[in-house]
Chain A
């Protein structure tokens, strides 16, 4: 292409002044984005992706500055422009969409006023005209019920709708350059899929140049034309999307690809290879190749001198001294043969029958306060039955708000049961945890979601694991220290971690300590509530591997709750798909991921971003949001969003359970024949 690129970044370096001196957060970053092109910027957190974006719009904060290089916008230098010029540019020609839609919108302003603001202020439009234009902008992003949305406030919209508003706002002035910083990371997969479709379509229609920042290789494969992989502030690989996914060359890119669980690979067939170590902080970047300390192919020469970007093929740049060698080698498929199904039907550990968990809705009227009104309930879990067998994993998937976490908490006893029965190892555990005996409690443990909340910040890691050991008397008191060290080793942490405080550890390490604490009592079952959702991909692999290993060694039964269908497939033997407090499909893992499927499962599967740009993505998209669990829809609870809804049937009658055989059950009105063709 000979045209002038919309954005051309050359040898960019960004530095921050800190108490310890000047720190280079970004070095040697170069890329071009032409009209109608989407450049994906990927890498783990802390790689400087957002810093690059902020340097373009000069949002670096008071202590950050561009220390080297050029930022050319339509051929003009942006560096050194006055704040006033940049402000005008930002309003008109460069627009930005942020990660957190909730905090990017002002909750005290109506949507229409927020949208119209830039038109009224920057273009001096009349308010009525501005409103009309805003409505049009919302139509362009396929916002349902535009008139209604205009008069609402941000907190009355769902996450997907908020993100649409932000994209509409960014597109209002038809910007030449759109910068999107992880726009779908905070969204559910189904919503993410719809937003990605929208981004791809807008690019086609309006030819906007887009800089798309994401840590998710699957997402970038879907929307981007070119990809720049960033590591510790440098671009390590830069190529077209097709090239980079077909021939990932830099060891870091290869590492990122190999640590991704594959939604199409059954349990036991893939090994996840985590990248050891973590991204160095900007003030401790190694002298030679920045990736050398974590690279498995490291040679002595790697520590001497920064490698330059080598062109391994036309337009495919790699920052590695042995790039040609790697380019010739395709990614080593880390496959393995699944272990043969050895035992026949292992004993059942947990048998939950028609579990119900309701939360009372607070009264809003005076009448209610005096008990004159009927109590209403949030039916978070409504009549759910599951069983888990020894040494096997039950995966529970669904969008946020479908009740999967509540089910987990109910099973371990943190939430009281409203109805139903839970039988654990032949003991009735229907009662809450305060009333369970210590011997029951020790057999049923849990791994939590938030790495920052799972450990008490006041105590050292070792003390927290030791606490469980002492309480359950797993080992005699003299052997506690040794046992803690053994548990730390089991989760691939060494003895030095004993005296670390949680704040001195990374998210993945904290999560592994959480696992060590859960298995300290040698439980028969561990419930894992989204154990890897908050972690970087490279770290996710390490945590998932630890879970697999624990299960194999102790024959532990596990429940894995996740919205990530790839992680669930990697680790589960059976899967239950939940929607609005009910199970819509349950069965062996392989049966769930292949037809026949419930329409909801099919939509979830279609929404998973796959790291393969050549793959034709299926287009089953869900509209709307999960309805309120206070007044669940009549008939089939999914009928309000189901693309295959049959009027007069689905919205009236409870759907029947269709038994496909081999324990695979689908709760749906559609004929079995049709369910086979939803997910070809």
Chain B
């Protein structure tokens, strides 16, 4: 057999795998609803310049402060005369960039700690897990506040805070999965091939953790959106005038009786995104469980 025939056979397999995973998603109604909501925000974030007429920060219309929704301003304006819809749309960009990014960093840390802890066991496991336990002993929001007040409010620091706060939980999950998978016979078979421990963890164990990890990732992106909002509300999020959902609630909540629109729009955005991610993750989990 030549290499040419090999590559000729490969692509349909990938396509089949993609089709397989799509079937899993589509067979759950809950997951589809979640996916539609999430995709809505993704489209809004990507196409924000197209969907909005105003710049979220610079276009301050002093003649139209605190306005209710109108043809001009789809969701009204805030106390500085900025278009609420623009701020929500651009805010989606922030949250959909920072959320997945911080969770991804958290996953890298968590996997780097959880895999060896579960695979080797013994004192290494003890040391890693006790350190993570110590980190987990802090209430999450308190931990974020400590980190951000120490480092200062900036997008990078928000990512650092959320990844440090999320890593212990991920490490625990990865460790538990590793403990189970390392006893499987294909891991023994890899050892009988002379594979190194690192290779076994990367090639034999990690790929088989992907189901629960994907679900966990989605849930955590939801929580991250929620926490980024909370930090913004506490004034520890992104420095103004960056459009930020949490920041919008914070700016608007004192004047809510006079003008509820900025607050309603921002909270509505957070709520729908988090619910969408949760539904998607739940549906996926249910469907992958049934699949097994």
Contact = CB atoms under 8 A, between A and B. Distances in A.
Interface of A: 409, 412-414, 433-434, 436, 438, 441-442, 444-446, 448-450, 453-460, 464, 467-468, 471-472, 478-479, 481-482, 485, 498-499, 514, 517
Nearest to A446: B192
Contacts of B6: 481
A527 to B, nearest CB: 10
Nearest to B12: A499
A456 B204 contact: yes
A442 B197 CA distance: 18
Nearest to B6: A481
Residue from B5, B191, B192 with most neighbouring chain A CB atoms (10 Å): B192
B207 A458 contact: yes
19 contacts: A409-B188, A414-B191, A414-B192, A434-B197, A442-B194, A445-B192, A448-B185, A448-B189, A453-B185, A453-B186, A455-B186, A456-B208, A458-B208, A458-B210, A459-B207, A464-B186, A467-B193, A472-B193, A517-B189
Interface string B1-41: 11101100100010000000000000000000000000000
Nearest to A412: B192
Range class of the B interface residue count: 20 to 34
Nearest to B184: A453
A233 to B, nearest CB: 24
Contacts of B3: 478
Given A456-B204, A457-B208, A499-B13, A471 B194 contact: yes
A456 B2 CA distance: 26
B55 interface: no
Nearest to B206: A458
Contacts of B184: 453
Contacts of A468: 193
A441 B193 contact: yes
A20 to B, nearest CB: 13
A456 B187 CA distance: 8
B186 A456 contact: yes
A454 B193 contact: no
A456 B184 CA distance: 9
Interface string B230-268: 000000000000000000000000000000000000000
Interface of B: 1-3, 5-6, 9, 13, 184-186, 188-189, 191-195, 197, 204, 207-208, 210
A441 B192 contact: yes
B234 to A, nearest CB: 42
Nearest to A437: B194
B21 to A, nearest CB: 13
Nearest to B188: A414
Given A456-B207, A458-B207, A471-B194, 8 more contacts: A414-B188, A433-B194, A434-B191, A438-B194, A453-B184, A457-B208, A459-B207, A514-B189
A454 B186 contact: yes
Nearest to A483: B1
Given A448-B189, A481-B6, A485-B1, A441 B208 contact: no
Contacts of B208: 456-458
Contacts of A414: 188, 191-192
A444 B1 CA distance: 28
A433 B192 contact: yes
A450 B194 contact: no
B76 to A, nearest CB: 47
B13 A460 contact: yes
A453 B189 CA distance: 10
9 A-B pairs with least C-beta separation: A448-B185, A458-B207, A481-B1, A453-B185, A456-B186, A453-B184, A454-B185, A441-B194, A482-B1
A413 B194 CA distance: 11
Contact of B188 (A442, A446, A481, A498): A446
Contacts of A449: 185
Contacts of B195: 471
A446 B192 CA distance: 8
A409 B192 CA distance: 10
B250 to A, nearest CB: 45
Nearest to A451: B185
A272 B5 CA distance: 37
A444 B189 CA distance: 11
Residue from B2, B9, B186, B191 with most neighbouring chain A CB atoms (10 Å): B186
Contacts of A471: 193-195
Contacts of A445: 192
Nearest to A479: B1
Contacts of A458: 207-208, 210
A482 B194 CA distance: 23
Contacts of B194: 433, 436, 438, 441-442, 471
Nearest to A477: B3
Nearest to A440: B194
Nearest to B205: A456
B24 to A, nearest CB: 13
A143 B101 CA distance: 63
B189 A454 contact: yes
A442 B13 CA distance: 30
Contacts of A446: 188-189, 192
Contacts of A409: 188
A438 B13 CA distance: 32
A492 B192 CA distance: 24
Contacts of A455: 186
Contact of A448 (B9, B188, B207, B210): B188
B291 to A, nearest CB: 9
